[in-house]
Structure 1
Amino acid sequence: MLHFQHFSVINAPPEVVWKFHERPDILQLLNPPWQPVQVVRRQGGLEIGAITEFRLFLGPLPLTWLARHTKCEKNHLFIDEQISGPFESWVHEHRFVGENGKTKLTDAISFSIPGGGTVEFMTGWLVQAQLEAMFRYRHHITKKECESL
């Protein structure tokens, strides 16, 4: 199993950052332009049981990803887990920690790549690099949007 983490400090309270993540268009807004993703279905918001289905592309190959929210503590955290998709397993925790009117936003992901340890060893660095670029973009957009409210 591999682990990834990215955090940033947003100059806005957790309630503002949480509300931003509740937007119905949040996935489209936070999706980097270099990674085409189509939202196929979204049922619910951030609450437990919410479902999101989207299609992403590995080169010309479309991949369907289905995720369910398995934990939600309003203004503090939510967790989504892959039900089906490109990874062997994927658990993504979004954590919002307030301090002095600001929010430390942390995305922590535990994931496994199909094919076992050797495949993870050989390709894990590439997935980590892609995640770093994607979350740098997502946090930049989140910071820009939440700090302008």
Structure 2
Amino acid sequence: MYSIHKTVELPIPMEKAWDFFSRPENLSTMTPTHMNFRILNGKPKPMYAGQLISYYVSPFKGIKVLWVTEITHVTDNSFFVDEQRIGPYKLWHHQHFIKPIKNGVLVEDIVHYAMPYGFIGKILNTFLVRKKLRHIFEYRSKKLIELFGSYEH
């Protein structure tokens, strides 16, 4: 089992942050363009527990993957969880927290994932997947700051 933990502070009110993050159609905005992210269903409805979201993504050039996630938990203006139902991982559990801070919000992502294919999956994670996921979450933070501005302490 592997994990990723990433935070970004944004100078926007909670309601604006929740409105953005709770809309599946905004996933493509936060995904690197070279990954050709395309949502198949799940939009434009606001998020709800039990919602299935299907999309195609190209994690590596020339590889197109169907990914289906289920929103398993939602606490409005605070927290939601998506879990992979179909996709490239043996397990994918992604917690999204949006917490109020002075003059903005703290957006926190905690991902736990497991690779398929035993030892081969472990090697793939070490040399490819971990780097790719770090890049995706770095891109996401930069894009959010581009969209909403830098947080001033």
**1:31 aligned partner, one-letter code:** T
Could you tell me the TM-score, scaled by structure 2's length?
0.85
Using the alignment, how far apart are the partners of 2:34 and 2:55 within structure 1? 16
Spell out the pairing of 1:1-149 with structure 2 (5 A cutoff).
1-23=1-23, 25-42=25-42, 44-57=45-58, 58-116=60-118, 118-125=119-126, 126-147=128-149
Shift of 1:137: 1.4
Q: Secondary structure at the match of 1:66?
A: strand
The C-alpha deviation readout for 1:83-124, integer Å capped at 9, x for no partner, is 1111101011111111112211111110111012x2343122
Q: How many residues align?
A: 147
Out of 96-105 and 80-89, give the one that drifted further: 96-105
Could you tell me the TM-score, scaled by structure 1's length?
0.88
Determine what percentage of the aligned residue pairs are the same residue: 22
Shift of 1:24: 5.4
**1:77 aligned partner, one-letter code:** F
Q: Secondary structure at the match of 1:34?
A: helix
Using the alignment, how far apart are the partners of 2:93 and 2:143 within structure 1? 22
Shift of 1:69: 0.1
Q: In angstroms, what is the RMSD of aligned CA positions? A: 1.9
Gaps of 5+ in 1: none
The C-alpha deviation readout for 1:39-74, integer Å capped at 9, x for no partner, is 111154322112110112243232111101000111
Gaps of 5+ in 2: none
| Kept after mapping to 2: 8 A contact 1:17/1:146 | no
